[in-house]
Structure 1
Amino acid sequence: MRFAEEGASVVFTDLKVDENFQNTEKELQALGVKAKGYASNAADFEDTAGVVAQIVKDFGRIDVLVNNAGITRDGLMMRMSEQQWDMVINVNLKSAFNFIHAVTPVMMKQKSGSIINMASVVGVSGNAGQTNYSASKAGLIGLAKSIAKELGPRGIRANAIAPGFIITDMTNALSDEVKAEWAKQIPLRRGGTPEDVAKVARSSHPTCRRTSADR
Structure 2
Amino acid sequence: MKILYIIPARGGSKGIPHKNIKPLNGKPLIYYTIDVARQLTSDENICVSSDDAEIIQAVEDYGLKVPFKRPDHLSTDTATTNDVLLHALNFYQSKGINYEVIILLQPTSPLRTVQHVREAMDLYDNKLDMVVSVKKSHAASVLCFENDNGYLEFCFNKSGSRRQDFSSYYEYNGAIYIINVERLKEKGLSSFTKKKKYVMDELTSFDIDIPLDLIIVESILKMKNSNLNV
If the length of structure 2 is used for normalisation, what is the TM-score? Answer: 0.34
Q: Which has the higher strand share?
A: 2
Bigger relative contact order, structure 1 or 2, given CA contacts below 8 A and separation 6+? 1
Structure possessing the higher radius of gyration over alpha carbons: 2
If the length of structure 1 is used for normalisation, what is the TM-score? Answer: 0.35
